């Protein structure tokens, strides 16, 4: 990503999403930014060659993982992570100017879960409509399809909506982590402050497999920063694990751990080694 200013980026749109705001930490050239309706479409844009990179959310400090992103990375056509971006997120409640009736409120499920107190106290009888992104909800309000949206202030500005209340989240310190995905091939060099991500598949009949995985990392003194189980979709009870560890695949402890894991796992999909973004 050394020449990001000349690369094209797919992202979870439409204009005004938190993903777009995170992407602007990489490049501010709007001509290079291509919004897509959902995470799958954004990642598929890279797979099809419609964009060089895709920026999508992967986890939130309050709500947790974005399951669709994890599943796409683990089971879709291979992609690797070139970079991560973190962004503090605050939510605003918005309507069309002068609106008086609020029966249907749209937002992304992760945003709704972070604003439950505000909704319960102010609109307990309103229907909550899930949308692919917070900005998609704002767009729907602008078209008269919804009465109100919970989205970013940037979305309100873009769709000419009136902010009724700003900063309505239950947790004022919420942060979302985004990953920048690319086709496999190029990998950032080690920086000394890196993260390595992988999808680990274990045998359904392999008792104690997860413990063995954890013991490999512990033996090599590799620190896990993230682990999440996801169903493979093959059959009930069959799971894979998305694992993030500190360090780069070129670091001896990490590389040695991955080599050892290949001897006890059905499969390992390497998802990338990339710099960890410093937290403010």
| CATH number of residue 219's parent domain | 3.30.70.260
Domain that holds residue 220: 194-275
> Does 106 share its domain with 134?
yes
Do the domain assignments include residue 280? no
Residues 178 and 52 placed together within one structural domain of the fold: yes
What is the rounded (10 degree) CA torsion for 6, 77, 274, 177?
90
The closest alpha carbon to 241, from 262, 206, 213, belongs to 213
Question: Which of 116, 140, 111, 139 shows the shortest CA–CA distance to 126?
Answer: 116
> Do 212 and 265 belong to one domain?
yes
In this prediction, residue 231 carries a pLDDT of: 79
Closest CA to 34 of 26, 25, 43, 42: 42
Same domain, 249 and 221: yes
Contact between residue 247 and residue 214 where contact means Cβ atoms under 8 Å apart: no
Q: Give the CA radius of gyration of the chain.
A: 20
| 3 state SS of 136 | helix
- The H or E element containing residue 43 is helix 39-47
**Statement to judge: residues 54 and 178 lie in one domain:** yes
Does residue 102 sit in the same domain as residue 159?
yes
Per-residue pLDDT, 1: 62
Whether 187 is covered by a domain: the verdict is: no
State the helix-helix crossing angle for 209-219 and 252-261, rounded to 10 degrees.
160
Domain harbouring 145, CATH code: 3.40.190.10
Q: What is the pLDDT of residue 204?
A: 65
Decide if 199 is inside a domain.
Answer: yes
pLDDT value of position 5: 60
Whether residue 230 lies inside any domain: the answer is yes
Residue 236 is predicted with a pLDDT of 67
- Is the residue at 189 inside a domain? no
Domain count, the chain: 3
Reading the chain (280 residues) residue by residue, the pLDDT tens digits are 655 567 999 999 999 999 999 999 998 787 899 999 999 999 999 999 999 999 999 998 888 899 999 999 998 899 999 999 999 999 999 999 999 999 999 999 989 999 999 999 999 999 999 999 999 999 999 999 999 999 999 999 999 999 999 999 998 888 999 999 999 999 999 999 999 999 998 876 566 778 889 999 999 999 999 999 887 766 666 778 999 999 999 999 999 999 999 988 889 999 999 999 976 4
H helix runs in 76-222, sequence order: 109-114, 116-122, 134-142, 153-158, 209-219
- Exposure on the CB side of residue 170, measured as CA atoms within 13 A: 15
pLDDT at 64: 86
What is the reported pLDDT for 241? Answer: 92
Predicted pLDDT at 2 = 53
List the structure tokens of 265: 């796992």
Residue 104: inside a domain, yes or no?
A: yes
Q: Are 206 and 269 in the same domain?
A: yes
Same domain? For 227 and 101 the reply is: no
3-class secondary structure, 160: coil
Domain boundary among 151, 182, 213: 182
Residue 56 backbone dihedrals phi, psi, to 5 degrees: -140, 155
Same domain, 198 and 153: no
One domain for residues 57 and 159: no
Q: What is the pLDDT of residue 246?
A: 97
Residue 14: asked if its preceding bond is cis (omega within 30°), the reply is yes
Residue 133 counted as domain residue: yes
Global pTM value: 0.88
Beta bridge partners of 128: 105
Identify the three-state secondary structure at position 69: helix
Calpha distance 110→101 (Å, rounded)? 24
145 and 269 both lie in a single domain: no
Is residue 188, in this structure, part of any structural domain at all?
A: no
pLDDT on residue 186? 94
Asked whether residue 9 falls in the same domain as residue 85, the answer is yes
The predicted structure's pLDDT at residue 230: 86
């Amino acid at each position: 990503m050394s020449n990001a200013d000349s690369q094209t980026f797919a992202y979870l749109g439409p204009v005004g999403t938190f993903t777009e705001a995170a992407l602007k930490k990489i490049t501010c050239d709007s001509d290079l930014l291509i919004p897509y309706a959902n995470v799958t479409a954004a990642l598929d844009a890279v797979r099809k060659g419609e964009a060089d990179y895709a920026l999508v959310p992967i986890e939130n400090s309050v709500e947790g993982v974005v399951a669709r992103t994890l599943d796409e990375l683990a089971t879709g056509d291979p992609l690797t992570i070139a970079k991560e971006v973190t962004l503090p997120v605050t939510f605003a409640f918005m309507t069309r100017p002068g609106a008086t009736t609020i029966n249907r409120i749209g937002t992304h499920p992760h945003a709704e879960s972070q604003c439950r107190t505000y909704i319960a106290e102010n609109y307990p009888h309103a229907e909550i409509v899930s949308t692919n992104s917070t900005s998609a909800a704002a767009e729907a309000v602008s078209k008269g399809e919804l009465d109100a949206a919970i989205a970013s202030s940037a979305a309100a500005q873009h769709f000419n909506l009136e902010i009724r209340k700003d900063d309505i989240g239950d947790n004022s310190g919420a942060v979302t982590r985004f990953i920048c995905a690319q086709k496999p091939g190029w990998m950032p060099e080690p920086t000394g402050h890196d993260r390595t991500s992988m999808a680990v598949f274990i045998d359904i009949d392999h008792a104690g497999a997860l413990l063995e995985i954890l013991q490999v990392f512990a033996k090599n003194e590799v620190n896990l920063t993230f682990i999440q189980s996801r169903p493979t979709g093959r059959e009930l009870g069959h799971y894979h694990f998305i694992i993030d560890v500190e360090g780069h695949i070129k670091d001896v402890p990490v590389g040695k751990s991955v080599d050892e894991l290949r001897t006890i796992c059905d499969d390992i999909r390497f998802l990338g080694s990339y710099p960890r973004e410093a937290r403010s």
